[in-house]
Amino acid sequence: MRAWSTTTRVTLAIAAAVVLAAVVAVTASLLRPSAEPPGRAGGGPDPGTCTAAPGAEQQDVDPDDSPEAPWPHVRGGGVVVHIATGGLPARYAGLVDQAAGIWARSPCVEAVVVDACPPESNCTTVVARERGRDDDTDGESKGDDRGGVRRSNTITLYTGLLDDASDNGALSTIVHEMGHALGLVHRNDPDSVMNAATNDSTDPAPDEIDFANLVVIYG
């Protein structure tokens, strides 16, 4: 029979203790009840899925803004919206593509940029005009809403102002108008891209409240 030295016996004992501690820790973590996912506190939407809690409401909305209708959808199933950019100047077509990718981070919305919308699709058409009725407006979104749902939508970009804006400012405008096209209203938060006023310094990325509000609309 092999005789182990004192040093070897101590080393083996320590190794066995470490392994045992690891096994206990893993077992405890598996048996521990899972915590509520982030964002569910207070009945909020489940992040990563298009599922709204019963009674959930949109947050931080501007009560003075005009309402927006949602696209036809099955609750929790999400919605596909085609964004038509055929004939749009290259700069703005590229920015629309970026904006669609930003909003497509929502689990409820798939924004698909196309030259022309397929027949019978949820279609938003983006057009460019030099000036609008209000010379201070660099963009607007107008929906054809009937029966409580959106049938079509047009985003108009006013290049008389946007041509002088930075790419960040123009992208913020397009993300903002696309948010309306998807059913969002203005936010009260002055730093939100969905606030009524955007400019060259606005962060064009929607925040968690914007994405949560989409879940409330479509989930």
Range 79-218: architecture per CATH: 3-Layer(aba) Sandwich (3.40)
**What is the pLDDT confidence band of residue 192, given thresholds at 50, 70 and 90?**
very high
pLDDT of residue 17: 53
Higher-confidence position of 71 and 19: 71
- 94 Cβ contact partners less than 8 Å away, ≥ 6 residues apart: none
Question: In percent, how much of the chain has pLDDT > 70?
Answer: 77
Every domain of the chain and the residues it spans: 79-218
Q: At what angle do helices 90-103 and 167-182 cross, to 10 degrees?
A: 50
**What is the pLDDT confidence band of residue 41, given thresholds at 50, 70 and 90?**
very low
Measured CA distances, 94 to 98, 123, 181 (Å): 6, 18, 18
- 14 Cβ contact partners less than 8 Å away, ≥ 6 residues apart: none
pLDDT of residue 109: 96
pLDDT of residue 125: 98
- Distance between CA atoms of residues 47 and 212, nearest Å: 8
Phi, psi (5° rounding) for residue 64? -90, -5
Question: In percent, how much of the chain has pLDDT > 90?
Answer: 75
**What is the pLDDT confidence band of residue 135, given thresholds at 50, 70 and 90?**
confident
76 token code pair: 């929790």
pTM of this structure: 0.78
Radius of gyration of the chain (CA): 25
What mean pLDDT comes out for the span 27-49? 46
Residue ranges in 32-157 assigned as alpha helix (H): 90-103
**What is the pLDDT confidence band of residue 48, given thresholds at 50, 70 and 90?**
confident
Express each pLDDT in 77-121 by its tens digit: 999 999 999 999 999 999 999 999 999 999 999 999 999 999 999
The answer on pLDDT for 20 being more than 60 is no
Closest CA to 207 of 31, 47, 53, 70: 47
The answer on pLDDT for 131 being more than 90 is no
Q: Which of 24-28, 165-169, 200-204, 206-210 is predicted least confidently?
A: 24-28
